[in-house]
Structure 1
């Protein structure tokens, strides 16, 4: 049987999953995406080159790794080709190493036009999507809504042009009736573009089940790259301020035909200060530990907290272990990857959220109701800072004692070993602990 490691965001996304995927991809032969689309964003720095990934798996940086965009994903075809071209311009050869499942759904330009209009309809209740046709919540995201309503198209269907044309025209007509002249979209233009895309797409399309069956038979080492994070999961996140797919372990495996018994490790990625070393999120929604003060501004500036996909500044706050315990109960982490420890080097003291209280009572779990979550009182533990540089450190005992105590506090509180500690943006800026898999 194949052995798989799953990397999942433990908070609201933007935790730095791309780096750990890059590191671990050197130990595997297959890297998979199981959900989401090109509204995701991972940055990888290696060899002095910075790569930005969106739809494509970060395992492409490893020249010996085959990469698959799985059936649970949605594919915006123009962005797929654009991303390939951008990687090529940076000298990365992806030929023969990237495949798309024929069961993945198509994210049309039509859906992106509608996504923006649905946000206008929501007005002050806007969810804060990436306007890429697939991240709006309340099940309003056009791409995922059409998939659930059985009116969307799989990649396998677009090679029958008559089917593509009939379904896309039907969708466009329906949205035109709803939005009228507000919908600035030309179905003829998109159909014409797909006439050009279809022959180019052919070499990338694969039947996913036989591919992964072969991987299992050959006992392949597999890495699964989650997009977004558990607090953006449409079921277990801060609904409705979530994405439109299940980005927890269960949802990711629903998008990949893998035997659940092949999952050997689940790594939750978190920023260590205010972003798991501390915490961040982009867009609207509750954020109990958010710091709308000089602390939040400092984390934002020093941590360079700008969304890879959106370009928006990330909201910053203290590390929230209530959230981590919630997502652990959803995902069952076997290890944590703590990123950006170095961003906390200049703080005199650090606060860590350990309890939520509401109307005088301690909450036993993260509340489902966002209005309640937005009103909780947060109880913090205060830990001393270390006021020394941890940038680029690669050995555990090279860290200042207070930095080690900070990491150990996280381990003791959550009961999850912190196997990976990031100390900078580069691939080599990583400390491996307690049986962690180092790159080959």
Structure 2
């Protein structure tokens, strides 16, 4: 039978496994992940209060419980783990679905000041990613600036504004819940360098901000009016047109007296983070204006916005994986219809899907056709790939290499431990937030 390793158990990896077993009854799939938990960004990227999206885990679970699919958690590919070349020896084909693991930087002075973080780091913290550091994101902060106007920016702004009564029913780890419950952040500024008609958030996400208890939304009519698409939205695509309609309503709302305020700002480009007492104290922005070609130009006018917490949300970027070619300009693996290219030539048996293939674009569902394209390429190559002799059981070989995979039963044990933890705290399921707790719950000897 054709044996395939899928590296990554997020949506792109699971959709790849699903297509493989659906399109070929003679394929066995091992889904490998560095973490002992499956589901990738569905577990560690979707906001805790988005229960409907998080329920996608149920669909992914069905695939990972298929009789010809096996989940192997806790398997690191690359430095400190199994070399990619060795993995290739254990399977007829390997599909890399490793996503885009890091964030883009602003490249401005002061970006590395204490109190300045990527939104990725903040999301990982409140989502209980075991690599996340609890460095007191909201401690002593009264004002926060979120740089970016996409859905992730909306998520982090919303989480900063939510109160403990709204966060407690989620699966947020207890330490993050306690920190956010004690937060003194009252002013949250979400800032974009372009106009409202070019913002990347979806209308559903945007409207959620308007429904937050004890939180007022502000949008500056003068900033909104700088955007020609705002003045006449008729020609805009449907999502952007609806966004403009929502912002119009907020711009006309008189100020109220609420505990928290979210201010949506536009046509402001960050140029420097200013220090106060050795940590970030404000963000200096340059006012921009439309350049008539879809971009913006600086005006030479500046504004400082107080902030003891700065979260940049300006996009993700793929990281090189040892043993694989990498396009540094695009942050992707070079490919032809999912087939990995080495020096422009197809590398037999190596494939890519998801963000590492196409870049960090689209929504979760975009991974479906992306995975299918890669799987069709792989199955077209299968008659040649399957001729190669393999070890009888890759797991036995992994163990011989000193790697102890966490099986599906180990993940189910983690789920039970998280349900038990939540019950002990008077909450629902509460995520385990560190490696030691996860591996101990899974019954892995790696925990000792």
The two structures have a TM-score, normalised by structure 1, of 0.29
Q: Which structure would you say has the larger Rg? A: 2
What TM-score, normalized to structure 2? 0.29
